[in-house]
Amino acid sequence: MPDGSNTPSRRSIVVSEFTNSVLDPDAPMLGPVENGGTIIANTAPGCWGPMITPSLRGGHEVTRPVYVDGAEVGDGVAIRIRDITVTSIATASGHDSSPEGFCLGDPYVAGRCPVCDTVWPETHVEGIGQQAVKCNTCGNAVTPFAIVHGYTVTFDETRSVGLTLPQAAAETIARDANHYSALPDQSRQHSILTFAPSDMPGTLVRMRPFMGQLGTCPSMAMPDSHNAGDFGSFLVGAPHEYAITAEQLAQHKTDGHMDIDAVRAGAILVCPVKVRGAGVYMGDMHAGQGDGEIAGHTMDVAGSVTLQIEVVKNYPLDGPVLFPLEEDLPPMARPFTAAEKAKGQRLASKWGVAAIEPLAPISVIGTAANLNLAIENGLARAAKLLGMTVAEVRNRATVNGAIEIGRAPGVIQVTFLAPLAKLDAVGLGDYAREQYGL
């Protein structure tokens, strides 16, 4: 363990504790959990709740990292997502703005009360609406963020659909916000339901829950929402105490904040290990989202998560790869059917091709300050992983895959059919076989 103790590893760990929105490799981890063990967590909503709670030092409220027995720097951890269940009855969200004067450089990281000039002020809730969060020191309404256009949505009992609500219903829910949001007992955030937005009532939405945050601890302290190449770029040269250089960002981040809607129950995510024990953490569960999270935020919810963790020795990448559910793959990246393979074999026989190479889907994550740079990052990572040139990856992603947007401004997936032998060479082939029945 990081503190030098020798605690026996456990087959399962139940997590109910949260960080102060900073992922710090020097902070004590929970666990250890054994290689192959299970992590079960009750997660708090991400984004809006922490965003209106300026004492928190990042845009989310994630679980305390868990130490994985046998995970060393330079390894990876394969995370099988066994279950994601939404426990919130309702949530609220919307497109944001950042009012002047309420932060020190970054409203996600360094909220500020402009009246008493306190950074990270402790606050409390008085009433409902967008002025309800008050500074404990001076009583001023502290609003690092405001909702420009937003909605309150409640979910059916089966957690299949949601419906946005009119003003009166949104205000009824706002008065009992912690109950309807199902905030975990140890969460410190104010519920965004307190704001009671109601700008598009009567809209039916599908629920398709996934984890916006899932990964391993970065190797230097950084705000949780900024553990990615796009949001992390806001830390470069920042005026607050979490400022870093571009070189430090590239070296230490693990890209745990992806907002990729395919990171859902049934998927397998492989993450880099940059600190001993990996430090697996999670949070920012979303009830559903289209590609890109183009409003900046979506339906953040509390929920329960079950993960199975396995160490992958000598993982060659500094970022994650994903084996999505087959239904989440782009059409061109899905495994070939028996009928397609038979037609291909007839072509091979006709033209003297000795063998058709076995292929398997893989999705390599790229992050950077903008989408163009994120694509370059994803292509370079895929080339490194598979021992190819970037030009070959471009070709394979064009004819047998796609570039998908995880989040604007700068998270993407390079998803394509890769030679199975190349995946075997880096210890990932069996995950593809497991996931796609190859």
Averaged pLDDT for residues 161-186: 98
Note whether 413 and 361 are within 8 A (CB): no
Averaged pLDDT for residues 127-149: 97
Q: What is the pLDDT of residues 12-25, one digit of tens each?
A: 999 999 999 999 99
Instruction: Indicate the pLDDT class of residue 310, thresholds 50, 70 and 90.
Output: very high
Assigned token pair, 146: 């405001």
Write down the pLDDT at residue 78.
98
pLDDT for residue 2 is more than 60: no
Secondary structure (DSSP) of 209-234? -EEEEEEE--SS-EEGGG-STTGGGG
**Preceding peptide of 32 cis, ω within 30°:** yes
Instruction: Indicate the pLDDT class of residue 4, thresholds 50, 70 and 90.
Output: very low
pLDDT for residue 215 is more than 50: yes
Q: Which runs of E-coded beta strand occur in 9-99?
A: 10-15, 22-23, 30-43, 66-68, 76-86, 90-97
pLDDT for residue 138 is more than 50: yes
Averaged pLDDT for residues 203-228: 98
pLDDT for residue 360 is more than 60: yes
State in Å, rounded, how far the first CA of the chain is from the last one. 38
**Percent with pLDDT over 70 in the chain:** 99
Write down the pLDDT at residue 7.
83
**Preceding peptide of 99 cis, ω within 30°:** no
Note whether 77 and 216 are within 8 A (CB): yes
How far apart are alpha carbons 261 and 166 in whole angstroms?
27
Question: How would you class 153 by CB atoms within 10 Å of its CB: exposed for 0-12, middle for 13-18, buried for 19 or more?
Answer: buried
Average pLDDT, the chain: 97
Averaged pLDDT for residues 209-227: 98
**3-state SS track over 273-293:** CCCCCEEEEEEEEECCCCCEC
Q: In which element (H, E) is residue 390 found?
A: helix 390-399
Amino acid at 46: G
Residue 158 vs residues 78, 87, 206, 404: alpha-carbon distances, Å: 30, 11, 12, 29
Write down the pLDDT at residue 5.
55
Instruction: Indicate the pLDDT class of residue 180, thresholds 50, 70 and 90.
Output: very high
Write down the pLDDT at residue 1.
58
Dmax over Cα atoms in the chain, in whole Å? 82
**Percent with pLDDT over 90 in the chain:** 98
Q: In which element (H, E) is residue 414 found?
A: strand 411-419
- DSSP 8-class letter at 53: -
How far apart are alpha carbons 422 and 394 in whole angstroms?
16
Q: What is the pLDDT of residues 270-304, one digit of tens each?
A: 999 999 999 999 999 999 999 999 999 999 999 99
Q: In which element (H, E) is residue 378 found?
A: helix 371-386
Report the candidate in 77, 45, 40 with the shortest Cα–Cα distance to residue 60. Answer: 45
- Paired with 204 in beta bridges are 163
Amino acid at 154: T
Half-sphere exposure of 306 (CA within 13 A, CB side): 7
pLDDT for residue 254 is more than 80: yes
Say how many C-beta atoms besides its own lie within 10 A of residue 239's C-beta.
Answer: 10
pTM over 0.85: yes
Averaged pLDDT for residues 93-106: 96
How far apart are alpha carbons 216 and 89 in whole angstroms?
29
Question: How would you class 402 by CB atoms within 10 Å of its CB: exposed for 0-12, middle for 13-18, buried for 19 or more?
Answer: middle
How far apart are alpha carbons 83 and 395 in whole angstroms?
35
